Amino acid sequence: MQVMVPRQGLSWFRAFALMLAAAFTLAACAGERVWAPDSAIQAARYVHGGQAELTIVTIMNYRSKRGDHTAMFINADERVLFDPAGSWKLPDVPERNDLHYGMTPRMGASFYLSHTRETHYSVIQRIPVSMETALRAKALASQAGPVPPAHCAVSTVRILRELPGFENLRSSYYPHKLMEQIADMPGVTTYELHYDAPGLQQQVYGAQVPL
């Protein structure tokens, strides 16, 4: 497993992160139904290219040292974000019941940056998979929502356990417990993104370029 952990002071980013924190919350969704029209889904479609992969994002709490939220990027025939019981929304990103479409590098970075701040940091775990597996994950994610509050980790595990190589994952309601299990899997590359890291934006974009 490869771990990349950039951490040093950067006042402008701290201010930027705090501003974003005012606009986004971690997991305040009530499991409401959201269904973007077909035209919006097609217009937002983003083909990332490169290796098919799953990217597990865990939002860790500095104070409690526990995970507060789990989400998953899926890079298949297009790149989408499964954000179960999450509250992350952007006007130009269409959503269908916790599955967000049009995950360009900039949109993906918006997710990371909105959660990485003085109280929380992001752990990003990239897992290469076959295209067949990525497509299966995307199909399952499209059927999984809307996810009720506090079910982000358990709903993600439920999808993963249907995929080859992930069958032995233990179900858990705790995001950091899922993160720990993923860390033990072969071929995982892990990034930690902290609010005071001078190379944060470069790391975010670097983690999203095609392999």
Cα separation, 142 vs 21, in Å, equals 28
Q: What is the DSSP letter of 6?
A: -
Predicted TM-score (pTM) of the model is: 0.85
State the pairing for strand pair 67-75/79-82. Answer: antiparallel
Mean pLDDT by 10 residues, the chain (211 residues): 46 44 42 91 94 97 97 97 93 95 92 91 96 98 95 98 98 97 96 85 75 53
Residue 146: cis peptide before it, omega within 30 degrees of 0: yes
The pLDDT score that the predictor gives to residue 100 is 97
Would you state the pLDDT for residue 186?
94
Query: Which distant-in-sequence residues (6+ apart) come within 8 Å of 26 by Cβ?
Result: 59, 68, 69, 86, 87, 115, 120
Please tell me the distance from the alpha carbon of residue 89 to that of residue 82, in angstroms, as a whole number.
12
- pLDDT recorded at residue 124: 96
- Domain assignments of the chain as residue spans, ordered by start: 2-206
